[in-house]
Structure 1
Amino acid sequence: MSDKVAIVTGASSGIGEATARKLNAMGYRVYAVARRLDRITPLADVGIRPVRADITDDAALVNLVEQVLAESGRIDVLVNNAGYGSFGAVEDVPLDEARRQFDVNVFGLARLAQLVLPQMRRQGSGRIVNISSVGGKIYEPLGAWYHATKFAVEGLSDSMRMELAPLGIDVVVIQPGAIATEWPAIAGQHLLATSGHGPYADQAARSAAIFAVEDGGPASPPSVVADAVARAVRARRPRTRYPVGRGAKAILAARRLLPDRGFDRFVRIMLRTLVRVANRYDARQPQLARDGG
């Protein structure tokens, strides 16, 4: 496997870091990409090549691919993991922020795919792994722009899979559920900053409380996503989608089985349940602090 080359974006922490380490352990020459070089420099200790690049900076992406080809001569795997969650009511979210959400989660992903595809075509092989979310198949209040980007990733990936299959290039989607990363905290901060005051404040407070519980509550480790990526790149004929992590398969099954109105009710019930859990979690904090927990 020593001649295989992989690029992993959003590799500064969480899913991206775990994936970079996993592919490196499998023998890939891995280029770990992130905006903050200080967050990925430690990966060099295990032989991973850190590269600073903003996924929305076209020149940086061009330079990244040129560097990989100059140093390694090929690209076998692209893991498009960079992304973030911008939450808030549609009425409140500035369109500039909505565009940035698409720039990071969709257009950056698509641009990097455009840049690696000529080399993959020349090789007659390659695998593009797009990290989507269960949020690419479901929806929730105050998450419209985030879910819109993940729905777009799903559709983009399906079309790419069909047009690239005759060229020997596979496109795979990974659909994480609840994963223990920085994502919930960042999403909650965006939500409160955007809709924490005004007509959607009550909804925002409830959803932010849920994010807070998710940030410190039970969730699957990022390694489950990295393991799914490993399965996808090793398989002779990979599955089109890999739902992984806490709750992923169950919630996707509910979406398949329920009509829209039924799923609306399912989401409302689920959110009410999570709010109760969040309230119990908050109530326990003083006692945990006294107990040293």
Structure 2
Amino acid sequence: MTKTVLVTGASSGIGQATAIYMAQKGYKVYGAARRIEKMQELKEYGIQPIALDIISDDSVVACVDKVLDETGSVDILINSAGLGSYGALEDVPIAEAKKQLEINLFGVARLIQLVLPGMREKKYGKIVNISSVGGKVGLPMGSWYHASKFAIEGLSDSLRNEVRQFGVDVIVIEPGGTKSEMTTIGADDMMRVSGNTVYGKLAAAIGKMYSSMEKNAVDPIVIAKLIKKGIEAKHPRTRYIGGTMAKPMLFIRKVLSDKLFDKMLMSQMK
């Protein structure tokens, strides 16, 4: 039987690439995002676009209800929607911080709440949470983004052991450098927030580093293939790592002390 997949953040980047790749591999795919106009081309692949504002509970409920009404189940949920907003913690308004957590954490949790009853009933389900290398490594100017991704890591670990008894797998994807408009938007946002403050010099150095990383970033299809690998594994790993510098960065973070890692990290930001 064809499995039904709901992919959030399907208007660009990893979400879009994953929606297309999964549709090409025979899955019934619904692509959800706030910018419905950006998803019209997905129809060419047999993907059904759905408008989703992940910080609106009414919109989240309506999105899941539509899929359930049309197919009877959400077999696979891929939480790819996300926001990368940057700036020094001292400079970022708390309202902007809350918005980032609403999108990257609470919106993800609400979608999971809504699909789990059906997955439990069928004793089958795959919940894929897109974290980041930034869910293990915190860079300056990214305190709220990293807080949200560290939280996704913890949420996924707790959830995995709650729902495995019902035949539901929870899989974390940790991308490194991946081509995405989010990187450019985030860098611009950082300069807007902190470019003209006492943190301006550091912001400029980090922006330069991001520009360099963007040139070497992998295509989102690399992450899409990683997601499919996890979904189709009989016994999926808890985490899959891919993208530019992902594995080396996580290895270095694991073996170095906090102070040595900080020293290495900051040496790259001059």
- TM-score when normalising by structure 2: 0.98
Identical residues among aligned pairs (%): 46
Q: Is the counterpart of residue 29 in structure 1 residue 28 in structure 2?
A: yes
Distance 1:205 1:22 in 2: 36
Give the gaps of 5 or more residues in structure 2. Answer: none
- 2:246 is aligned with what amino acid? A
- CA drift of 1:210 comes to 2.1
Distance 1:85 1:65 in 2: 24
Q: How does 1:158-197 map to 2 (within 5 A)?
A: 158-197=157-196
Deviation readout 1:224-249 (Å, 9 max, x if unpaired): 10001100110111000001011000
- 1:212 is aligned with what amino acid? S
Partner of 1:218: 216
Q: Is the counterpart of residue 154 in structure 1 residue 153 in structure 2?
A: yes
Conserved? CA contact 1:15–1:222, under 8 Å = yes
Q: Is the counterpart of residue 264 in structure 1 residue 256 in structure 2?
A: no
Partner of 1:286: none
Partner of 2:232: 234
- 1:268 is aligned with what amino acid? M
Q: Is the counterpart of residue 13 in structure 1 residue 17 in structure 2?
A: no
- CA drift of 1:160 comes to 0.4
Distance 2:242 2:139 in 1: 19
Partner of 1:209: 208
Distance 1:23 1:45 in 2: 13
Partner of 1:128: 127
Deviation readout 1:125-160 (Å, 9 max, x if unpaired): 100000000000001111111111000000000000
Distance 1:108 1:115 in 2: 11
Conserved? CA contact 1:187–1:211, under 8 Å = no
- CA drift of 1:211 comes to 2.3
Secondary structure of residue in 2 paired with 1:63: helix
- CA drift of 1:212 comes to 2.7
Conserved? CA contact 2:202–2:269, under 8 Å = no
- CA drift of 1:23 comes to 0.9
Secondary structure of residue in 1 paired with 2:102: helix
Secondary structure of residue in 2 paired with 1:141: coil
Deviation readout 1:142-184 (Å, 9 max, x if unpaired): 1111111000000000000010111110000000000011121
Give the gaps of 5 or more residues in structure 1. Answer: 273-293
Q: Is the counterpart of residue 248 in structure 1 residue 242 in structure 2?
A: no
Conserved? CA contact 2:29–2:47, under 8 Å = yes
- 1:257 is aligned with what amino acid? V
Instruction: Kindly tell me the number of residue pairs found equivalent between the two proteins.
Output: 270
Deviation readout 1:230-287 (Å, 9 max, x if unpaired): 0011011100000101100000001110111111112112334xxxxxxxxxxxxxxx
Distance 2:68 2:180 in 1: 31
Distance 1:248 1:90 in 2: 25
- 1:233 is aligned with what amino acid? I
- CA drift of 1:94 comes to 0.4
Partner of 1:64: 63
Conserved? CA contact 2:230–2:236, under 8 Å = yes
Distance 1:122 1:189 in 2: 45
List structure 1 segments (4+ residues) > 6 angstroms apart after TM superposition.
none
Secondary structure of residue in 1 paired with 2:204: helix
Conserved? CA contact 2:5–2:29, under 8 Å = yes
Secondary structure of residue in 1 paired with 2:78: strand
Secondary structure of residue in 1 paired with 2:234: coil
Secondary structure of residue in 2 paired with 1:175: strand
Secondary structure of residue in 2 paired with 1:127: strand
Conserved? CA contact 1:184–1:214, under 8 Å = no
